[in-house]
Amino acid sequence: MTPLLLSLLIGAAGACGFQPLGLWPITLLSLAMFMSLIERAPNLRGALVRGWLFGLGYFCVGLNWIATSFTYQANMPAWLGWVAVVLLSFYLSVYPAIAAGLAWRIGRSSRIALILMLAGGWIVTEWLRATMFTGFAWNPLGAALVGTPWAWVAKLVGTYGLSAFATLLGGAIYLFLRKEWRSGGAIALVLAIVALASLFQAAAPVTANGVRIHIVQPNIGQDEKWQEGSEARAVQRLVRLSRHDPNVPTLLLWPEAAVTRALQDARRDVAYRESTAELRRTVAAALGPKDLLLSGGITLRSSDGIDVTSATNSVFAIDPAGRIMARFDKNHLVPYGEYLPMRPVLSRLGLSRLAPGDVDFDPGPGPMTLQLPLAGRVGFQVCYEIIFSGHVVDRAHRPDFIFNPSNDAWFGAWGPPQHLAQARLRALEEGLPVIRSTPTGISAVIDARGNLLNSLPWRKEGVIDTTLPPPAPPTLFARYGNMLPLAFAFLLGIGAIAARRKTR
């Protein structure tokens, strides 16, 4: 088998560590084999090509759920979804290629240097991947270690630092395969100590008097969401599932875009405003006298007061009278999902948004904390906003928990568990509970240590009725953010240069 084909195949195997498979030892073994391929590259160009092909296999398998989203719209052929997966992977693979090139350039004369440089380079390139061109941070390597004894280090060096630990674990295997027992044993010993340290981490804080929360998962698929008459049926189902003891003040949590008709309309016409007010009163029928509802919904905007010119993907806080207490607008929008880049050009080519409608969404202000009755200090991250490490909390106004309403009904069987794993990483990093409500799953309650306390399976109607977990004290990462993994990358790079000089 040629090195190029092998690079592609072991990259594909590396994606098996992500959910729903969760075969993280295979990911570590694939990293070990990847290092061997980098070491044997004849030149820098060869290392870059091998890194790019590794990334191509890694992303094509891990992001296969993107193809599923194209099956829920009629404006473009479904097969175009697989073209989109491959084209996106072509671009994303540039980042593993850069990491491989750095590892070869610095570490070709020393395996320890190669491992350290690849780990440091992986941090930097994942951070760049999450930043460049609006960013696409899905499936960082560290997400494969969620639930393992090494996951806790995300509290210190974040998800990108955790990705470096995954690379170092692969490096230990690589050294053992090359029969470098002393070097491999030294790395393995350090990593074993880190794993054992997880046993001494403080347990998640508990409280006997937490706010009562009621999470609704209506199991409304994307194929039925926009059918004629579906809105009324959806509201009826949401209200039915929201039934609870009215004597207990409860925070009700509904998914992203739970209500497809606008809950707020900026047009001046009285009929539009009365229509949205009536809808809010219908929704508020689910509430007891001391309850509060947080629901995903749509805000229609109008620059002239007559026509709809844009919209926002919002979360509304609604009281028992149907009044809007507060609103949060999603900031990190999905290209082609919530807006069409270069619309005048691409629309002429026959391309459109995956979601119905010709009006694009406007971005909100970014992470913010809202002080709400009953709920307290709430941070919001709508759908895929939660995947951006270090960008989910207003650090000047730390919330008590993060509400992450999402619509994962687009994403097939692979997307929802991967999304959940990344939400668990945000809880770990920030020391904050994360509460998820989705239409088809996976809705969940995650405590401040990233533990999954409650969840509803994919494609199952149901509710989670429990108490809100309390926050933990701010973690190191919560205080300093991505400065820490980038500093860790710098130290790994210095270590790689020192190891190369020692070998020489």
Ordered DSSP codes for 20-46: TT--HHHHHHHHHHHHHHHHT-SSHHH
Distance CA 228, CA 236 (A): 15
Helix and strand element counts for the chain (H, E): 16, 13
> What's the alpha-carbon Rg for the chain, to the nearest Å?
24
Distance CA 312, CA 354 (A): 16
Ordered DSSP codes for 202-222: PPPP--SSPPEEEEEE----H
pLDDT, tens digit, 9 for 90 and up, residues 273-330: 888 888 899 888 889 999 999 999 999 998 888 888 888 999 999 999 999 999 999 9
Q: Hey, what are 304's tokens? A: 């002239």
Are 420 and 147 in contact by the 8 Å Cβ rule? The answer is no
Are 33 and 10 in contact by the 8 Å Cβ rule? The answer is yes
| 372 three-state secondary structure | strand
Are 444 and 423 in contact by the 8 Å Cβ rule? The answer is yes
Name residue, tokens 């992203």: 256
| Closest among 243, 242, 264, 240 to 253, alpha carbons compared | 242
pLDDT of residue 346: 47
Q: Hey, what are 11's tokens? A: 């990259």
Q: How many residues does the chain have?
A: 504
| 401 three-state secondary structure | strand
| Closest among 376, 441, 476 to 154, alpha carbons compared | 476
Q: Is it true that the peptide bond before 20 is cis, omega within 30 degrees of 0?
A: yes
CATH of 212-471, one of 3.60.110.10, 3.40.50.2300, 3.40.309.10, 2.60.40.10: 3.60.110.10
Half-sphere CA count of 98, side-chain side, radius 13 A: 15
Q: What b/e sequence results for 408-421 when a residue is b if at least 16 CB atoms lie within 10 Å of its CB, and e otherwise?
A: bbbbbebbbbbbbb
pLDDT of residue 310: 85
Per-residue model confidence as pLDDT tens for the chain (504 residues) = 799 999 999 999 999 999 999 999 999 999 999 999 999 999 999 999 999 999 999 999 999 998 887 776 656 666 777 888 999 999 999 999 999 999 999 988 889 999 999 999 999 999 999 999 889 999 999 999 999 999 999 999 999 999 999 999 999 999 999 999 998 999 999 999 999 998 888 777 777 568 999 999 999 877 676 666 677 788 889 989 999 888 899 999 999 988 888 888 889 888 888 888 888 998 888 899 999 999 999 999 988 888 888 889 999 999 999 999 999 999 988 776 665 554 554 455 455 555 555 678 888 899 999 999 999 999 999 998 999 999 999 999 999 999 999 998 878 889 999 999 999 999 999 999 999 999 998 999 999 999 999 999 999 999 999 999 999 999 999 999 999 999 999 999 999 999 888 766
> How is the chain split into domains, by residue range?
3-202+481-503, 212-471
Regarding beta strands 452-455 and 369-372, do their DSSP bridges make them parallel or antiparallel, or are they unpaired?
A: unpaired
Burial class (CB in 10 A: 0-12, 13-18, 19+), 395: middle
| 332 three-state secondary structure | coil
